[in-house]
Chains A and B, each alone.
Chain A
Amino acid sequence: MTTTPQAVRRASPRTRRPATPVAPDPTAGLLPQTAPVRLLDPDGTPLPPRADLPAPPVETLREMYRRMVVGRRFDAQATALTKQGRLAVYPSSRGQEACQVGAVLALRDDDWVFPTYRESMALTARGIDPVEVLTLLRGDWHCGYDPTVVHTAPQCTPLATQCVHAAGLAYGESYQGRDTVALAFIGDGATSEGDFHEGLNFAAVFKAPVVYFVQNNKYAISVPLSRQTAAPSLAYKGVGYGVPSEQVDGNDPVAVLAVLTRAVAHARAGHGPYLVEAHTYRMEAHTNADDASRYRDPDEVEAWRDRDPVARLEAYLRSRGELDDAAVAQIAAEAEAYAADLRDRMHAQPTVDPLSLFEHVYAEPTPQLVEQREMVRAELAADAEGDA
Chain B
Amino acid sequence: MATMTMAKALNAALADAMLDDERVLVFGEDVGQLGGVFRITDGLQARFGDKRCFDTPLAEAGIVGFAVGLAMSGLRPVVEMQFDAFAYPAFEQIASHMAKLRNRTRGALSVPMVIRVPYAGGIGGVEHHCDSSEAYYAHTPGLKVVTPATVEDAYSLLREAIADPDPVVFLEPKKLYFASGEAELPARTAPFGRAVVRRPGTDATLVAYGPAVPVALEAAEAAREDGWDLEVVDVRTIVPFDDATVTASVRRTGRCVVITEAQGFAGVGAEIAARVQERCFHALHAPVLRVAGLDIPYPAPMLEHTHLPGVDRVLDTVARLQWDDRPDPRWLAQGSAA
Contacts and interface: CB of A to CB of B under 8 A. Distances in A.
Interface of A: 141-143, 146-149, 153-154, 158, 161, 163-173, 175-176, 182, 194-195, 198-199, 201-202, 205-206, 356, 359-363, 366-368
A168 B65 contact: yes
A195 B65 contact: yes
B72 A154 contact: no
Interface in B127-170: 141-142, 144, 164-166
Interface of A is mostly: helix
Nearest to B166: A362
Contact of B108 (A147, A163, A194, A361): A147
A193 to B, nearest CB: 9
A85 B193 CA distance: 44
Contacts of B212: none
B190 to A, nearest CB: 15
Interface stretch (B221-229, B238-246, B250-258, B284-292): B238-246
B69 A167 contact: yes
B18 interface: no
Contacts of B73: 168-169, 171-173, 175-176
B75 A202 contact: no
B335 interface: no
Contacts of A172: 69-75
A379 B258 CA distance: 33
B44 to A, nearest CB: 17
Given A147-B109, A170-B69, A361-B142, A158 B102 contact: no
B69 A171 contact: yes
A199 B62 contact: yes
19 contacts: A143-B106, A148-B108, A153-B72, A154-B101, A154-B104, A161-B65, A164-B66, A165-B69, A167-B62, A171-B69, A172-B71, A175-B73, A198-B62, A198-B65, A202-B62, A359-B106, A360-B103, A361-B141, A366-B241
A104 B102 CA distance: 25
B67 interface: yes
A171 B103 contact: no
Nearest to A201: B57
Contact of A363 (B62, B101, B105, B165): B165
| Most-contacted residue by chain B among A147, A161, A165, A175 (CB, 10 A) | A165
A164 B61 contact: yes
B69 A164 contact: yes
Contacts of A171: 66, 69-70, 73
Given A141-B106, A147-B108, A367-B243, A202 B57 contact: yes
Contact of B93 (A164, A176, A182): A164
Interface in B88-123: 89, 92-93, 96-97, 100-110
Nearest to A368: B241
A362 B100 CA distance: 9
A169 B110 contact: no
Contacts of A170: 69
| Most-contacted residue by chain B among A149, A172, A175, A368 (CB, 10 A) | A172
Contacts of A142: 100, 103-105
| Most-contacted residue by chain B among A164, A182, A205 (CB, 10 A) | A164
A353 B240 CA distance: 24
